[in-house]
Amino acid sequence: MAARTSANFSSCFTFLKEALVLPTQNPKLFTPVFLLIALPSFLVLSTNVLFVQPLSMDMAELAIKLQTTDPSSAEYRMILEELKHDVTQLILVVVAVELVALVLGFVNQCVGFFAASSTYSGDRYSLPELLRKAMKGNLKGPLITIAMVTVLRVTYMALLGVLIYSVMQVQRHYLIKVLSVQVLLFVLCFLAFLYFNVVGMVSVAVSVGDTERRGIRALRQAWRLMTRVRRKEGLVLVVAICLLSIAVSPVNLVAAAYTKNMVLGLCLLVVYALLSGAEQLFYFAAATVYYCQAMDSKGEAMDYAYAKIPTVIKTTTALIVMLITTRVLDKQHHERFHSPGITSSVDMFCSLSPEAGKRNRRIYCIQLSDRVLMDASGDGATGMMSCSPSLIWPEMHELNCRWAV
């Protein structure tokens, strides 16, 4: 019992180990991808240090001077114009940087998830080859999913802001009764927000790996995988991402607070940008590996459930599918060639020979008009038919149904 528990516990972290070593399997791809992912963080932080903070300090000084200056004087109007100019510059810089960071964030997520998915599947592309493959393939689906997840994330953050504001507006005589409930509600909503962030990452991995799922369908599939298929691994992924983000954030605080030496402060920002790039690259790899392994385990669970079905039921279902498909094809053949010698109905004589045992039962279905229609068994089948038995059972791909010419 203890050994089984230990094995289950260690298996929950297996995908994290694979995500850590995944970039080392294709360095020529992940090195430029890593630098590309780190670029937006450095751009935002360096703009904050070089432009936003100096403009904010100038605006604070001008606001102080404005309060101590006579409103009717010319100096007051001059200070007011300078303040308006600084505010305009600050807004333009912030909006431009945020737009560039948003576009780069979309590109980085697509490139990162495509790189992780292709490398995990065994391909070894370079960055130009990966970009060409992404442009020719399924690029619309991940972009739609990323946009939808971003909108939902911003909406969720706005709701959290409203909840914080409501907590701050609680009056004193309601403090004991209401504040505890609102704080508990905020904590629960914040934890749900952290969980939703990870579900959003997995949904992008779903849209990259499955061309038929995008947007809501990808998000629904990611939710099912994290809440039903591999719940323990999903919880481990959420905790790992949160802890890694907490571990990296102090470097940003130190770099932002260090103002004595500009060069040293920029060096700290470079270090933080590289750490942030490595952190996001790990997020992409972990979400991709989790999705691939969850889909594999989902397929294994379906195989196990099918293996528990009695053989008689499988054989009967296979026979029904073959009879229906043969009737349809015979009717199509008759309508196409208008042959009077071939009847459109399938008059068949089916006999079972149980002497071979339950697993080796052979089914002989012979048309009465001297034309052998099919010879089906548990190992294979040939005949005047073409069927898609995977609609019923995935394992019926083993029935090699083909036209007999």
**Distance of alpha carbon 37 from alpha carbon 32, whole angstroms:** 9
Is there a single domain that holds both residue 355 and residue 239? no
Is there a single domain that holds both residue 89 and residue 234? yes
**Distance of alpha carbon 337 from alpha carbon 377, whole angstroms:** 30
Give the contacts of 203 (CB within 8 A, at least 6 positions apart).
145, 149, 218, 219, 221, 222, 223
pLDDT given at position 300? 46
Q: What is the CA radius of gyration of the chain?
A: 32
Domain end: 279, 306, 333, which one?
Answer: 306
Is there a single domain that holds both residue 235 and residue 336? no
Q: How many helical (H) and strand (E) elements, i.e. helices and strands, does the chain have?
A: 12, 4
Is there a single domain that holds both residue 329 and residue 296? no
**In 3D, which of 378, 373, 364 has the Cα closest to residue 346?**
373
Domain range for 338 is 311-398
**Distance of alpha carbon 343 from alpha carbon 305, whole angstroms:** 40
Domain end: 248, 279, 306, which one?
Answer: 306
Is there a single domain that holds both residue 22 and residue 114? yes
**Distance of alpha carbon 285 from alpha carbon 291, whole angstroms:** 10
| Backbone φ, ψ for residue 364 (5° rounding) | -110, 115
Taking only the tens place, the pLDDT of each residue in 167-194 is 777 655 556 666 677 778 888 888 999 9
| Backbone φ, ψ for residue 388 (5° rounding) | -125, 75
| Backbone φ, ψ for residue 403 (5° rounding) | -75, 135
pLDDT given at position 282? 92
Inside any domain, residue 4: no
Inside any domain, residue 117: yes
Residue range 355-376: mean pLDDT, rounded: 35
Is there a single domain that holds both residue 269 and residue 388? no
Pair of tokens at residue 146 = 């990323």
**Distance of alpha carbon 45 from alpha carbon 252, whole angstroms:** 9
Inside any domain, residue 405: no
DSSP structural state of residue 389: G
Inside any domain, residue 158: yes
Domain end: 306, 331, 366, which one?
Answer: 306
Is there a single domain that holds both residue 238 and residue 381? no
Tally the domains of the chain: 2
Instruction: Identify the top-confidence range among 246-250, 307-311, 363-367.
Output: 246-250
Inside any domain, residue 180: yes
Sign of the dihedral defined by the CA atoms of residues 283, 241, 9, 293, in that order: negative
DSSP codes, 201-241: HHHHHHHHH-TT--THHHHHHHHHIIIIISHHHHHHHHHHH
Question: End-to-end distance of the chain based on CA atoms, in angstroms?
Answer: 59
What's the pLDDT band for 400 if we cut at 50, 70, 90? Answer: very low
Pair of tokens at residue 61 = 């000084």
Is there a single domain that holds both residue 195 and residue 320? no
Per cent of the chain over pLDDT 90 is: 7
Side chain identity at 365, as an amino acid letter? C
Taking only the tens place, the pLDDT of each residue in 28-81 is 899 999 999 998 888 888 888 888 888 888 888 888 888 888 788 888 888 888
pLDDT of residue 309 exceeding 80: no
CB 229 within 8 A of CB 206: no
Give the mean pLDDT of the chain: 72
Inside any domain, residue 350: yes
**Distance of alpha carbon 335 from alpha carbon 182, whole angstroms:** 71
Taking only the tens place, the pLDDT of each residue in 323-337 is 555 554 455 444 544
Inside any domain, residue 6: no
Give the contacts of 62 (CB within 8 A, at least 6 positions apart).
79, 82, 83, 86
pLDDT given at position 324? 56
pLDDT given at position 405? 27
Name the pairing type of β-strands 381-383 and 372-377. Answer: antiparallel
Is there a single domain that holds both residue 283 and residue 321? no
Inside any domain, residue 403: no
CB 137 within 8 A of CB 210: no
Is there a single domain that holds both residue 223 and residue 151? yes
Give the contacts of 281 (CB within 8 A, at least 6 positions apart).
23, 30, 33, 34, 37, 112
Is there a single domain that holds both residue 323 and residue 378? yes
Is there a single domain that holds both residue 301 and residue 348? no
Distance of CA 272 to the CA centre of its chain: 25
